[in-house]
Amino acid sequence: MFLRNVLRPFLKLVNYPMVFSFSTTAKIMASKVNATVEEPVLRVTRGSKRKLTSPITKNEDALLNVSKQTGHRSLHSRIKAEKTDVQQLSKEKEPSITSQHVSNPKNMKAKNTVIKKEESHEKDLEKHGKQAKLKKEKSAKAKRIGTEKSVSKDVVPKPELIIPEIIIPVNKPVIKRKDGPSPWNGTIKYENKIFLGAHISAAGGLENAITNSMNIGGTSFALFLKNQRQWVSKPMEDVTVERFKAACATHKFFPHLILPHGSYLMNCGTNDPVILAKSRANLLDEMKRCERLGILYYNIHPGSSCGKGTREEAIKSIADSINWVHDQTPDSKVSVVLENMCRQGFTIGGDFSDLAEIIEQVFDQSRIGVCLDTCHALAAGYDLATAQGFETFLEEFERVIGFRYLVAVHLNDSEGEVGCHRDRHASIGKGKIGLEGFRRIINCPRFRDIPVVLETPYISDDYYKQEILLLKSLADSETVCA
């Protein structure tokens, strides 16, 4: 006792715990601890119940007081921390239910309500899950059935552009074109007439082009053999070919008076290997279509370098493309017809020398021709509005290219001035060429027995009919319009 009384002040100064002592306080503490009964705290959460990892005793306040009395700081800190955790849990949205709460009937009712809500929520989740699964199964089944139905029917495969291996022929003998308006002098009867027409629609079937041409009073016509803005179109059916040929024979639309126009997508002058390969494949496809239909000419825009190559390279690429197509169709009589352009940008064909150089590099020159576009010629700098300008135009064409290559004419007035380099077509007499300019064109002997077709802005079929009548009215006594 004496020793304890002496050491007590010093022990208090250092806050040394007194649990080890044999004092009554220690005995009380031991008895309190032994009397403690651990009862875990239940925390109800959605869909689950779990026990706290560190259960708090019912007599925690007693232990807290003992630790304060003995100065046992570590024990005091642990109890205080655990008590704080329990208080924080009780402040959460979801209620914490202890054994004391459970014993209370009101709290039991609250607990049961919470559990029922959780069970209801679980059932809802399960229900929605089953519905989603069922919906997914139905969708998969419908898709499977739809696929089976589509397979069971006669499905027409989507046409694909087949790009063959392209080997450009070299060192072949040159076949010169004979003099005259067409290389087929032995098979075509010439009547020394002007054959007027227009670029008309072939909607609903190629055979409808003949009917549409007759409705506007045309004796020649131009058309697209397929969608001009797509690389690929479905193959022609045999019945379409037969109907087209029969209609042409019945209404005397001879093969040399029909001028199909090539796709606007083609560019045989490009150095882009993908576009060039597609252009050549498309050129071959349309040439074969012409052959099946019995048509002699196929009109194309030569192409453009697009600023990524030289003019000479573009011209060689165009000539190589024509040589390759000729090589792929050795028995065909179809000619590639090059159209003069308006010198816009990097296009080839604005100058007659461009066309002459292409022709010079083609081996079979009997299967190549030229189509003169009046709007393009004016925009390129050839003055068709005056008598002197028109004579100069004809003389230069004969000197640079030769009229033996002329197989067609596109009749268009021009919105732009001479040399504007703008491809802007206008109705006959509404542009810079004027009616007097077209009077000279209609009465020119060089333009007889070939298709002379309108490419003026489409207003209506009746307007095309009126334009054809207007052009016929410009013909003099020596010019006969078919």
Listed by start position, the domains of the chain span: 2-102, 104-152, 195-473
Q: Is the pLDDT of residue 182 over 70?
A: no
pLDDT band at 229 (very low <50, low <70, confident <90, very high): confident
pLDDT band at 397 (very low <50, low <70, confident <90, very high): very high
pLDDT band at 338 (very low <50, low <70, confident <90, very high): very high
Q: Is the pLDDT of residue 296 over 70?
A: yes
Q: Is the pLDDT of residue 417 over 60?
A: yes
Q: Is the pLDDT of residue 42 over 50?
A: no
**Residue the block writes with tokens 């009867």:** 189
pLDDT band at 395 (very low <50, low <70, confident <90, very high): very high
DSSP secondary structure string, 146-208? HHHHHHHS-PPPPP-----------SPPPBPPPSSS-S-TTT----S-BEEEEE---TT-TTH
Task: Name the more confident of 425 and 75.
Answer: 425
Residue 242 CA to residue 237 CA, distance in Å, equals: 9
Those residues whose C-beta lies under 8 Å from the C-beta of residue 88, and which sit 6 or more positions away, are none
Helix (H) or strand (E) holding 32, with range, is helix 24-34
Q: What is the pLDDT of residue 231?
A: 87
Q: What is the pLDDT of residue 233?
A: 84
pLDDT band at 88 (very low <50, low <70, confident <90, very high): low
Nearest to 54 by CA among 84, 30, 31: 84
Q: Beta strands 368-373 and 406-411: pairing type?
A: parallel
Residues 5-23: pLDDT tens digits? 666 666 555 555 544 444 4
- Contact, 237 vs 274, CB < 8 A? no
Q: Is the pLDDT of residue 126 over 50?
A: yes
Q: What is the pLDDT of residue 7?
A: 62
Residue 283 CA to residue 338 CA, distance in Å, equals: 13
Q: Is the pLDDT of residue 326 over 70?
A: yes
Q: Phi then psi for 394, rounded to 5 degrees?
A: -65, -40
Nearest to 226 by CA among 149, 157, 285, 146: 285
Strand partners, 223: 260
Q: What is the pLDDT of residue 54?
A: 46
Q: What is the pLDDT of residue 125?
A: 62
- Contact, 196 vs 314, CB < 8 A? no
- Contact, 307 vs 346, CB < 8 A? yes
Residues 128-161: pLDDT tens digits? 666 666 676 767 666 555 544 444 445 555 566 6
Residue 481 CA to residue 441 CA, distance in Å, equals: 13
Q: What is the pLDDT of residue 450?
A: 95
Distances in Å between the Cα of 337 and the Cα atoms of 92, 137, 208, 376 are 87, 59, 24, 15
Q: Which residues are catalytic?
A: 229, 261, 264, 301, 339, 373, 376, 410, 423, 425, 455
- For 287, counting Cβ atoms within 10 Å of its Cβ (0-12 exposed, 13-18 middle, 19+ buried), the class is buried
Q: Is the pLDDT of residue 372 over 90?
A: yes
Q: Beta strands 368-373 and 335-339: pairing type?
A: parallel
DSSP secondary structure string, 197-241? EEE---TT-TTHHHHHHHHTT-SEEEEESS-TT-S--PPPPHHHH
Mean pLDDT, range 70-98, rounded to an integer: 53
- Contact, 219 vs 195, CB < 8 A? yes
Q: What is the mean pLDDT of the chain?
A: 79
- Contact, 428 vs 410, CB < 8 A? no
Q: Is the pLDDT of residue 358 over 80?
A: yes
- Chain-centre distance of CA 77, in angstroms? 72
Residue 457 CA to residue 424 CA, distance in Å, equals: 9
pTM above 0.85, yes or no: no
Distances in Å between the Cα of 424 and the Cα atoms of 83, 251, 376, 414 are 91, 33, 8, 6
Mean pLDDT, range 303-313, rounded to an integer: 93
Inter-axis angle of helices 238-250 and 273-293, nearest 10: 60
pLDDT band at 480 (very low <50, low <70, confident <90, very high): confident
Q: What is the pLDDT of residue 93?
A: 46
- Residue 179: CB atoms within 10 A of its CB come to 10
Assigned token pair, 248: 């042409």
Q: Which residues of 249-263 are buried (b: 16+ CB within 10 A; e: fewer)?
A: eeeebbbbbbbbbbb
Residue 96 CA to residue 63 CA, distance in Å, equals: 23
Q: Phi then psi for 369, rounded to 5 degrees?
A: -145, -175
Q: What is the pLDDT of residue 169?
A: 77
Task: Name the more confident of 32 and 353.
Answer: 353
Mean pLDDT, range 339-346, rounded to an integer: 95
Residue 415 CA to residue 423 CA, distance in Å, equals: 8
What CATH number does domain 195-473 carry, 3.30.420.40, 3.20.20.150, 3.40.50.300, 3.40.50.970? 3.20.20.150
Nearest to 333 by CA among 375, 291, 300: 291
Terminal C-alpha separation, the chain: 146
Q: What percent of the chain lies above the pLDDT cut of 90?
A: 55
